[in-house]
Amino acid sequence: MSEKSLTLQIAKKLIGCKSVTPEDAGCQNLLIEELKKFDFQIQTIVKNGVTNLFAIRERKGPLLAFAGHSDVVPAGNLDQWTTDPFIPIESNGFLYGRGSSDMKGSIAAFLVATMEFLEENPNHDGSIAFIITSDEEGPANYGTKIVCDYLKNKNIEIDYCIVGEPTSEKELGDMFKNGRRGSLSGNLTINGIQGHVAYPHLANNPIHLAPEALLEIINIKWDNGNEYFPPTTFQISNIHSGNGATNVIPGELEIKFNLRFSTENTPESLKSKIHSILEKHNLNYNIEWILNGDPFLTKTGTLTDTLSKSIKEELGIESKMSTSGGTSDGRFLTKVSKQIVEFGPCNETIHKVNECVKITDLAKLKNIYKKVIEKLLTK
């Protein structure tokens, strides 16, 4: 069996596990079975139905960790799929199945890359670790966050971390992430006084009270961004008021919003600006704040340079660094890792019906991961 086909075989086995969040459905056991052959120490952490794996092969020198998630989003309407989403199918050069791109293909690739490296370099420098969770696509309260707490308690610090998220856009290797914006959500309620529309002097319509303050918030220039991040953005995602009747002035206006923010701001500074505007307009309000994740950034350095060189060697292209996109588990890993990058296959079909990955890309991805290991852990 060629190593190329081994990556494909493991990817297919993982896809065959129906691991819809927060279920792992046996994925991590497949990894453990292989990692034990190379003397990895295995720690499984189960909490609130979430299964997490931390595996480490310790040596002197820096610690390189591969991180990822075994869970996938629901398949949705099965009638829209050409094939069963949990039966991997090879067709026209692609591997189809839920999780093929996000991110079971990456897990298979960095597992085989590690196995190849260890077979060829049994006395290598440095340590290698795996961090896998079954709750990245869901609330993520008991996933990688819990593993990071475990690592902090054990005083384990990661020097380099590669998250296998599908970051490529048009072709494999054209983009990787060296950070992500922070995400701060708010549930704002503006309070008025309910009443009859025929007697507005006896009521106070919160819909009429809100526009000036909201417009001022919408027009805030939060920051200019920086060389790594675009400017912070604010978006209202939902507005609701009233009970559906046309003759009732509502007593409350509910507004949901989200800020995607750069390292130029903090959650506290963003909250302060919004509170000051609402108070300036003398609104009776309350806000429930939800911090989905702080921004994190790995500046140009050893890990970004190593990944860029490895991509160039394997694919012959220059890869673009980016901090675009939504949140990822990198927001938790930044608490225990000095340098973090995210790199994986094309993301065109992720979370869609007929999710797929190019089979040749799996082999190339494995080769890139292996080159990174070689550069970081051998002299």
Q: 67: domain range? A: 3-179+296-377
Do 239 and 325 lie in a common domain? no
Do 190 and 45 lie in a common domain? no
Where helices occur in 282-350 by DSSP H, the ranges are 302-315, 330-333
Do 132 and 251 lie in a common domain? no
214 vs 182, 262, 279, CA distance in Å? 22, 22, 12
Per-residue confidence (pLDDT) for residue 79, from 0 to 100 = 95
d(CA 110, CA 93): 21
Per-residue confidence (pLDDT) for residue 1, from 0 to 100 = 37
On whether 252 is known to bind a ligand per the annotation, the reply is: no
Do 10 and 121 lie in a common domain? yes
Do 108 and 21 lie in a common domain? yes
Do 186 and 289 lie in a common domain? yes
d(CA 232, CA 274): 14
> Comparing C-alpha atoms, which of 163, 137, 138 is closest to residue 148?
163
215: left (phi over 0), alpha (psi -120 to 50) or beta: alpha
Q: Hey, which residues does 1 pair with through a beta bridge? A: none
Helix (H, G, I), strand (E, B) or coil at 193: strand
49: left (phi over 0), alpha (psi -120 to 50) or beta: left
Global pTM reads 0.90
On whether 351 is known to bind a ligand per the annotation, the reply is: yes
The domain tally of the chain equals 2
Of 243, 276, 293, which closes a domain? 293
Where helices occur in the chain by DSSP H, the ranges are 3-15, 27-35, 105-120, 144-153, 206-209, 211-218, 267-280, 302-315, 330-333, 359-377
N-terminal to C-terminal alpha carbon distance within the chain: 30
Per-residue confidence (pLDDT) for residue 141, from 0 to 100 = 94
Q: What is the pLDDT along the chain (379 residues), one digit of tens a residue?
A: 344 589 999 999 999 999 999 999 999 999 999 999 999 999 999 999 999 999 999 999 999 999 999 999 999 999 999 999 999 999 999 999 999 999 999 999 999 999 999 999 998 999 999 999 999 999 999 999 999 999 999 999 999 999 999 999 999 999 999 999 999 999 999 999 999 999 999 999 999 999 999 999 999 999 999 999 999 999 999 999 999 999 999 999 999 999 999 999 999 999 999 999 999 999 999 999 999 999 999 999 999 999 999 999 999 999 999 999 888 999 999 999 999 999 999 999 999 999 999 999 999 999 999 999 999 999 7
Rg (CA), the chain: 24
Per-residue confidence (pLDDT) for residue 2, from 0 to 100 = 45
C-alpha torsion 34→20→288→217, nearest 10: 90
Do 288 and 302 lie in a common domain? no
Note whether 147 and 56 are within 8 A (CB): no
Note whether 165 and 102 are within 8 A (CB): yes
CATH code for the domain in which residue 259 is found:
3.30.70.360
Do 73 and 138 lie in a common domain? yes
Do 301 and 288 lie in a common domain? no
Do 137 and 251 lie in a common domain? no
Active site residues: 71, 136
On whether 120 is known to bind a ligand per the annotation, the reply is: no
Q: Which two tokens stand for residue 343?
A: 């790199």
On whether 196 is known to bind a ligand per the annotation, the reply is: no
Do 115 and 132 lie in a common domain? yes
DSSP readout, 15-48?
Answer: HTS--BTT--TTHHHHHHHHHGGGT-EEEEEEET
Of 240, 259, 293, which closes a domain? 293
CATH code for the domain in which residue 336 is found:
3.40.630.10
Of 254, 270, 293, which closes a domain? 293
On whether 69 is known to bind a ligand per the annotation, the reply is: yes
Do 328 and 263 lie in a common domain? no
